[in-house]
Amino acid sequence: MLIYESRARILQFKAGTAPTFPASARISASFEPRTPFGGETGKTRNTVVGQNIKAKASPSTGHFYMLAEEPLFPALDFSASVQSATFAVHGNEISVDASVTSLQDVADLLGALCYAFPGILNLYLPDSPYPLYAWGRVGAARTMP
């Protein structure tokens, strides 16, 4: 069960293009915060042994975070295949490639990337990742930016 409300989303393709099925699809999303994906500095609740950090706390709210003065580690860059889909991570941008047979398959890919994947990442990351925006293509049809 999701702990947040699933907001209404609009999947809009560029004018003059419409997806045809079956097709190959590539859906990508940019995630925030960037620090836990490596290669970035800034606020974080992650740290690495031997890392120079500054700890900050707010006595009125109880919020605690660290400020990394240098990236915790190089930007992530890997891919993994799960069933018939391939997930690729390049820094804070994550893509999924898969074959789709309907618009429902495209919606399922978006759901996996923007809702299920952040939940899995949150098992390992204290900084909860969330998608900022998504884009992609289905066959020759490209989504609006």
- pLDDT per position in the chain (145 positions), as tens? 555 566 667 788 888 888 999 999 999 999 999 988 999 988 888 888 888 888 889 889 888 888 888 898 899 999 999 888 999 999 999 999 999 999 999 999 998 898 888 888 888 888 889 999 899 999 999 987 6
Tokens 């190089």 found at: 74
Which pLDDT score is estimated for 124? Answer: 83
Which pLDDT score is estimated for 79? Answer: 96
Contact 28, 45 (CB under 8 A): no
The reported pTM is: 0.84
Q: What single string gives the DSSP state of each residue in 57-70?
A: E-TTT--EEEEESS
**Region for residue 69 given its phi and psi (left: phi exceeds 0; alpha: psi -120 to 50; beta: otherwise):** alpha
Torsion of CA 10, 11, 15, 16, to 10 degrees: -140
Cα–Cα distances (Å) from 51 to 5, 34, 55, in that order, read 36, 17, 12
